[in-house]
Structures are given as structure tokens and as C-alpha cells.
Amino acid sequence: MDFRRIEMIFIAIFIALDIYLFMSLSGSQTTNSASITNRSQTSQILKDLKDDQITVKRLSNQKRESYYLASRQADQTGLATASAKLTGQTVSFDKTRLTLTSVLDKPLSYKKGRATAVINTFLKGNNNVYQANQYRYSKALSNNQQAVYVQKVPGGQMMDEHGQLIFTLDNGQISQYTQTYINKVQILREKEMTKISAQGAVVDLYTDNEIPNNSKILWVQLGYSALLDANSSTVYVPAWQIAIENKSTKNVVVKRINAFTGTLIKNRSEVTS
């Protein structure tokens, strides 16, 4: 593809992003005004959380600098191509979900508490995992059933299904993994200061009735999530990922708040543990 065509694609992405931001900010002034709080309101809301039996540890009110990122759908061929070069495993590739699934010829064995150490050694092997050094372990997203690694991107890491490496843990054995990977991640804009902090994200969720009573906030982390598709490309933004556990059922739901606008990113992963 010639440079002029690539340039036009990213101009179209900028326009689509600007339209989205205008609509998002306009909407937040009318239908989502409750998410804009001052310090005294925040203090009261934190008290209300406690009154509603919502447990949350002390959170930072510091804002961060982050990028807008993008990738072109036409560039997402690396994982499919690499699948033929992986050894010691049977691999399939879902073209719709852009997801690689691998079943190991010889399962990996691990002792209690040693799964990540075994996986880390496996990742260092030749032709075991595509772009293995581009992932880091996520303790927050992992549990007793799976070890999750997230893709590193400029300014942080992916925290949704677009850039993850997930190993299935089964009674001391690891026999398969799934992988998604974003090729050629581009920086759309220079770093900008986020609108809200970790504390602000939880406050916004609560004021929007997204946190039920008798819940526990397990963790809050900043990572990139897909925001929108435009002109055959995907735009990613930094988002506060908030894991909410129901104290009675122990079900866990992950909510995402756009760190630039303070709005809820809908239709994202909800997990049950």
C-alpha cells in the first residue's frame, strides 16, 4: 500500500475519533453529568460506598499520561502466518476472531504455585509462541484456571481480548493456549493527561449505578481497550479496568472506564470466576 493511501486512512481515523470525542463529551454534559464530581462530592461518595457494603481499598487520585493508539485490520496477518512455523503443537486459527488456538503435543507439568515459572521457560523457547517477548504476565486477569499474559504496547499494555495470551491450567498440566496479537500498533497522538484517576473511575461507576450493593472492588488497573472501528482500523484508548466481585455469589465482572473521557466502555468482557 502506498504512503498516500496510508496517510488518508489515518486522516479518516482522526476525523472519526474527533467526532466520537465530541459526541462523548457532549453527552457527558447532559446524561452523564453525575460522573463529574468535585473533591467534596468524592468524599461523600466514598462514604456512600461503605454504607452500601461496597468494599474498596484506598485508591490513587493521580492522573496519568497516555496515548491514543490504532491498528489497521489489513495488518493483522502475522499471527495467522506464524501459526505454520510453531513447533511441538497442533494449531488452528479463527479468521473471524483473529485468534490462534494451540494444543501442545507434550503438555507442560507444574507444581502448585509454579505455573508461571514453567510458562515463562516455555515462552523463551524457539518457535513455541509467536512474539512471546511482547507479552507480560497479568496477575489481575489470571486465576486458578488460567494464566493470562497481556501484550505490551506503547505507553502500557492491552487489557482486553485483542492482545492476550491465555494458558489453560488443569490439575498440574498445561496442554493448550489461545493467543491474540495486534500487529503494527500506531500512536495517533502525543501523550495526553487522562481525565480521571483510579479513584475517579470507581466513583464514576458508582454514580452511574454500575456497582451493586454488597460488592468488593478486587483491583483497578490502567490498560488499553478497543474504543471504536473506523475505516478498517481500530482505535484503542487507556481505560481503567475495575474488577467487581459479588460478595454472595463470588461472581466477578470487569468494567472499563475510558480514562480520557470518564465514560463507560460498553460491550466488553465480563468474566465469571
Residues 252-270: tens digit of each pLDDT: 999 999 999 999 998 644 4
Residue 108's pLDDT band, with cuts at 50, 70 and 90, is: very high
| Residue-averaged pLDDT of the chain | 87
- What is the C-alpha separation between 251 and 10, in angstroms, rounded? 40
pTM score? 0.83
Mean predicted confidence (pLDDT) in 120-141: 97
How much is the pLDDT for 38? 66
What local confidence, expressed as pLDDT, does residue 40 receive? 76
Pick the range with the lowest mean pLDDT from 28-32, 115-119, 179-183: 28-32
* 84 Rama class: left (phi>0) / alpha (psi -120 to 50) / beta: alpha
Q: Which residues make up the CATH 3.30.310.160 domain(s) of the chain? A: 77-179
In this model, does residue 52 exceed pLDDT 70? yes
Q: What is the mean pLDDT of residues 117-128?
A: 97
Q: How many angstroms separate the CA atoms of 33 and 27, rounded?
A: 8
Q: Which residues contact 183 (CB under 8 A, 6 or more apart)?
A: 71, 75, 76, 77, 78, 79
Q: Where in the chain is the domain with CATH 2.40.128.690?
A: 3-70+186-258
Predicted local distance difference test score (pLDDT) of residue 229? 86
- Between 132-136, 174-178, 186-190, 244-248, the lowest mean confidence (pLDDT) is in 186-190
pLDDT in tens, 230-239: 878 899 999 9
Q: For the domain made up of 77-179, give the CATH fold.
A: TATA-Binding Protein (3.30.310)
DSSP string, 187-204: E-S--EE-S--HHHHHHH
Q: What pLDDT score does 82 carry?
A: 87
Q: Is the pLDDT of residue 29 over 60?
A: no
Q: By the 8 A CB rule, do 204 and 257 touch? A: yes
- Indicate the fold that domain 3-70+186-258 takes in CATH: Lipocalin (2.40.128)
Please report the pLDDT score of residue 189 as a whole number.
Answer: 86
Share of the chain above pLDDT 90, in %: 74
Label residue 13 by pLDDT band (50, 70, 90): low
Asked if residue 22 has pLDDT above 60, the reply is: no
pLDDT at residue 129 in the model: 98
pLDDT above 90 (res 3): no
Confidence category of residue 245, pLDDT binned at 50, 70, 90: very high
The residues pairing with 6 across neighbouring beta strands, listed in sequence order, are: none
pLDDT surpassing 70 at residue 122: yes
